[in-house]
Structure 1
């Protein structure tokens, strides 16, 4: 016969299991109570609240210790939402991080999982460190720095920043692909993005510019894209496994000894000259790299790092420059459908980019 001790062992294990489940339940109730109590006024929607809470809990912070500040107005974000999080630690110190919540349109254009490209580029020292990810957002370190678009009174500072940015872009363009080749990853991100954006443009979309007697239409945008794709296919422009995809000056950050990139959701296979063109194009802002001397200095450093001929780079840059304006116009045309409440704003932005395309 089984001893009394043998018969009591299952009861002991069941009791231990019950205590474990009870502990887990109490922890979940505790977290839920804190989550319900954490309702910062700066978070505009329940979805954003859920994403931020997921990111905060992923790094083990208590929500009540996190102060949230909405950064869209400062960052002039067109598509995604950015928050600055200030977390109070137990040692009376504070930690500042940046949370970014992606829009459905941004997620649709990505070819990799959320945060994968950011983490890969960050590991190479070219982007802020990623602390947490979820299906709709990322949490990254805050880096005290300034945009390469910032105006400096010192010529030495401009020269240093130009050199740092050129070195960073050359290093990015020299990286291997994130994952082994596949049909989707092999697709050029520029044409992929334009194709997805065009699917969102309303069929009855119209946009008038001063240079045209009639209005631009969706069909005209599609025709121009086909023309540009055919034209560039005959120019043999160099593609790289990893280009930024939206390399405007505000997405390149300078520190004392390095430059790095933010907003990497369009990162992937692309023309190297597309990054160069978006960074060096003349858009009328005197604080950017619009002087010929700064552009020459930038291209010289970049060319040396990638072992390229400056004349070839200038040729590629000039060939692709019009497309930087056309792609931006298509983006704003798509935003009219995505955000119809701000239709006039998006239409005006599309018109300004089309004017630049017409005169480029």
Structure 2
């Protein structure tokens, strides 16, 4: 297999040296690091391999990495995704970061998934379906990541109540709302798979018509509908037609029936998760000030917006439709 030969060509010692260099600006310059992204939970660079024949990606985790996941599970889904061809091949993974193959291409934007581009949507659906078909790594086993991550973030947010925005409910009320949302979701009987956990368009790479997925840090057992909705959730122009094209392609890739009735059921399964994508993001921005208190007004504004969007879409979760009771 191509992935296996690539693993053999990359020296593990060199990978560790590159990962160590991520924390030293002088070493990054000496190695020729090029910054790709700098997000909430990690810093990412590209760099040439020791032989100069390949480009690698070095991802260095920040303290925020462990806000939502357990240390022993870090990198487990990234490695699996590389082995099964869904994501880049990982050459080194530990609790400080990872080194993996560089994949050419551009990351998608929200507007891309709402354009009705069938070929692109089919490519995304095929890759996500393949990820969802994999066995959950032992390190990630447990209840769905959606609830685990929110529980961890709520514990962090409660530590410094003085950093919370003024215009939100009490922590007790939010806890009650999360519990009620969990109970409401269970009535819909959604399917649990090996989920990506943060399947926004920017975690999809497209190059010459080929699609790969990236950033699997929040991967683990999760609801497939959560991944679907995270891909299509937008505050801009929403295209139900594009969502239907994607869901049909997903069903075909997964070997599932995709009659009009089946497609309608998949659409409902997706829409149930819209409020939960907002609720999860709301809790994230409640916890974030613990790590980045210098931008408090920004986090407050984002938290208030996510709570507002949750309230607006809440009925999709709590109001049962006829098909959900079949």
8 Å CA contact 2:110–2:234 kept in 1: the answer is: no
**Equivalents in 2 of 1:146, 1:227: separation in Å?**
39
Q: Which runs of 5+ in 1 are unaligned?
A: 1-30, 54-62, 209-213
8 Å CA contact 1:65–1:87 kept in 2: the answer is: no
8 Å CA contact 1:248–1:278 kept in 2: the answer is: yes
Larger relative contact order (Cα-Cα within 8 Å, sequence gap ≥ 6): 2
Equivalent position to 1:203, from 136, 161, 170: 161
Equivalent position to 1:262, from 191, 211, 214: 214
RMSD: 2.9
Aligned to 1:67: 32
Aligned to 1:358: 311
Deviation per CA, 1:113-164: give whole Å up to 9, x if none.
Answer: 4333211111111001112223210011111112232767xx79x3211110
1:278 CA drift (Å): 0.4
**Equivalents in 1 of 2:73, 2:233: separation in Å?**
31
**Equivalents in 2 of 1:358, 1:150: separation in Å?**
22
**Equivalents in 1 of 2:201, 2:43: separation in Å?**
19
Deviation per CA, 1:183-231: give whole Å up to 9, x if none.
Answer: x6122111000000011103345435xxxxx533333322221111111
Aligned to 2:265: 312
Equivalences for 1:171-320 in 2 at 5 Å? 171-179=130-138, 185-201=141-157, 202-207=160-165, 214-240=167-193, 242-284=194-236, 286=237, 290-306=238-254, 307-308=256-257, 309-320=262-273
Q: Look at both structures and tell me which one has the larger radius of gyration over its CA atoms.
A: 1
**Equivalents in 2 of 1:233, 1:272: separation in Å?**
14
Deviation per CA, 1:54-99: give whole Å up to 9, x if none.
Answer: xxxxxxxxx78511233335xxx2222222324574xxx5643221
8 Å CA contact 1:207–1:347 kept in 2: the answer is: yes
Change (3 A) 1:150 1:197: closer
Equivalent position to 2:47, from 82, 85, 88: 85
1:49 pairs with 2:24: yes
Q: Which runs of 5+ in 2 are unaligned?
A: 1-13, 314-326
1:316 CA drift (Å): 1.4
